[in-house]
Structure 1
Amino acid sequence: MSSENYRLTEEGERELHEFQKDVTMPPRFLEGWRYHHLTTLFWERLSIFVQVSSNLINQNKGFIPIQNKQETKEWLKSFLKRQNTNRYELAEQLYTELTECLQQEKSIDPAVLVLRLTGHNRIGLTSEQAAEKLEMTNPHYQLEFLNILHYMINTVSLTKNAFPLLSSLVQDVQKEVPLTLSTEKTFQLLQKGYLPNEIAAMRNLKMSTIEDHIVEIALHIKEFELNGYVKPDKQKRIMDAAKKTSAKKLKQIRDQVDDVNYFEIRLVLARNGGQKWN
């Protein structure tokens, strides 16, 4: 192990080999950077929408909502008021959209999601119970659960006309720049003119954490100006070194451009990560 690289022990290699016999890693649709701000919200809205629809068509108003967040319940209340259809047609449409969405992709197991859903006279399983029922380890189940949610978010967002109800679950919160919440706070302070070291002090965070935030911002916000952090001539030399080595290993680049630090290299690579270097 070095400061930049880790290697599995022989025992770790054996465990990984056994794990990969039954598990595809990483799951095909898992995109944490892109959907981290939507995942929990999508699940909360979907699960309570299914529960409420199921109980309404069975004329049961005495159920306890599966989601406790007031904003989630208020969202559903407002959403239902805007629908120009009766409860039976709405429930049927929701069922149809869910079925079609989950059946479109053969690589996923709908049971990973369906077992968690609560309805009339039916309590959804916890993640631990679902994992046990599907004979998965808890970490494996969690990955597959996130994989299905990310698949659904991507599918219904791209084909809104085919999934008008499901796409509505995230339509009001879609945003083009998926920054983490902590990075977003740093970005807002940068826009107000605060310096990175000032932000670190204000937020009681390490400077390295603020630098991580700035790299994330450079990766996702193309309008973010780098010149205040890395001089243009350094940016050019960093990219020239990256092209020569055909690698993104920081040490190899720093060996060729010895007057830059790792933060500057990471920042430039984040901005230019989508380019073909060869």
Structure 2
Amino acid sequence: MRFDEVVLAIMKAVDGQRTVSSPYHLIKGKKSGQTIQDIGYFGLHPYFAVLPKLDKKDYLDSIERLQAQGLLVPDDNSIQLHQSATDLQLPATSLNGWKYRGNERRFFSRLSLIVQTMSNFLQGHKRFDPVVTDEAVQSWTKSYLHRIDFRSSEVQAAFKVQIENSLALAKTAEMHKDILMARLSGYGVGGLTWDQLAAKHQLLPIDVKIAAVEALHAWLDVLEGMEYPLLTGLLEGIIQQSALTESAKRTQNLYERGFSLSQIAELRQLKTSTIEDHFVELAMNDPAFSPASFMDDELFESIRRISKEMKTKRLRDIKERLPDASYFQIRLALAVRGEAV
């Protein structure tokens, strides 16, 4: 996907129920209650945190392009799409942001440093400026290199073959794979910059960044098959073992031990609204979660019915019909089991 297509995919999913800035926060991976619940409400898992360092100007430029193409109606209050945008078929994507949450960059940093090290040692050069300056990545990579006996020519050859074979199976465009590999550096060869890749492929820099993330997500999906031992080791700490954020998991543990919402807030010294966000997250991700502790069946069914009748997840609109329901109860009812309106 191009970056504008990512933005448009999010806008089509929310269908006018959020502001124009909401996709920006989602793409950057903002862990606010609103963003997290929108992921479940509107099925936006692929796009979460795909560009954590997204510049606001790049996003606003995309909005301008969509408006210039007649796809997006200028509106400061909410997303308004022209019918042409609603009818537009967007390409499939291998993005899986909620699963990786930016950790794919750590995987690629490790890979980049390993490839650079092997390449230089192969040529007899033991001193070089590392392409990755992050000390945590350097420390991890140094330990990993010694575990696999990276000086061995057989290991180096096997590492190269496993990269080629696994990447070939990744379900993404060949251009995306080329962009990703062109970022790697080796002995006497520097990885291309985003601007250089954009010029080479006649794309915007923001588009080649998205292409690289798509390639990484598709590749990581292959590597999870555990068929490439030298590469699967790089997945340590990369794959999210739980659909919940770390903070929500801590709230879940306390809730399962019998603590109430208010008690959890006091114990964790967090705002009640923050703990409410965690329960909404739990409701979206745990099929066994029951809202019975927070509302009776009648209120739960009323919220769901009104949401479906009005074809909206706007909390304010639903509350106007159910003034006795709290905003938290409405959010929770809409989130349970992630059922769509």
Question: Normalising by the residue count of structure 2, what TM-score does the alignment of the two structures yield?
Answer: 0.62
Equivalent pairs, count: 263
One-letter identity of the residue aligned with 1:65: P
Distance 2:66 2:153 in 1: 53
Q: Is the 8 A contact 2:198 2:208 kept in 1?
A: yes
User: Cα distance, 1:68 vs. partner?
Assistant: 1.6
Match of 2:226 in 1: 160
- Describe how 1:127-276 pairs up with structure 2 within 5 A: 127-157=194-224, 159-161=225-227, 163-180=228-245, 184-185=246-247, 187-188=249-250, 191-192=253-254, 195=262, 198=265, 202=269, 211-222=276-287, 226-242=291-307, 244-245=308-309, 247=311, 249-250=313-314, 254=319, 257-274=322-339
Match of 2:17 in 1: 4
Deviations 1:46-95 (A, max 9, x none): 11121112122222111111112222122222222322675322222222
User: Cα distance, 1:33 vs. partner?
Assistant: 1.1
One-letter identity of the residue aligned with 2:250: Q
- Describe how 1:48-87 pairs up with structure 2 within 5 A: 48-83=113-148, 87=152
Distance 1:59 1:248, change over 3 A: farther
User: Cα distance, 1:26 vs. partner?
Assistant: 6.3
Distance 1:148 1:173, change over 3 A: closer
Distance 1:270 1:189, change over 3 A: closer
RMSD of Structure 2 on Structure 1 (CA): 3.9
Q: Is the 8 A contact 1:215 1:267 kept in 2?
A: yes
One-letter identity of the residue aligned with 2:285: H
Distance 1:264 1:87, change over 3 A: farther
Distance 2:263 2:111 in 1: 39
Q: Is the 8 A contact 1:47 1:66 kept in 2?
A: yes
Match of 2:191 in 1: 124
Distance 2:182 2:143 in 1: 27
Distance 1:63 1:169, change over 3 A: same
Gapped regions of structure 1 (runs ≥ 5): none
Distance 2:184 2:336 in 1: 41
Distance 1:11 1:54 in 2: 42
Percent of residue pairs bearing the same amino acid type: 25
User: Cα distance, 1:258 vs. partner?
Assistant: 4.5
Question: Normalising by the residue count of structure 1, what TM-score does the alignment of the two structures yield?
Answer: 0.74
Distance 1:112 1:70 in 2: 26
One-letter identity of the residue aligned with 2:212: F
Distance 1:265 1:112 in 2: 44
Distance 2:233 2:150 in 1: 15
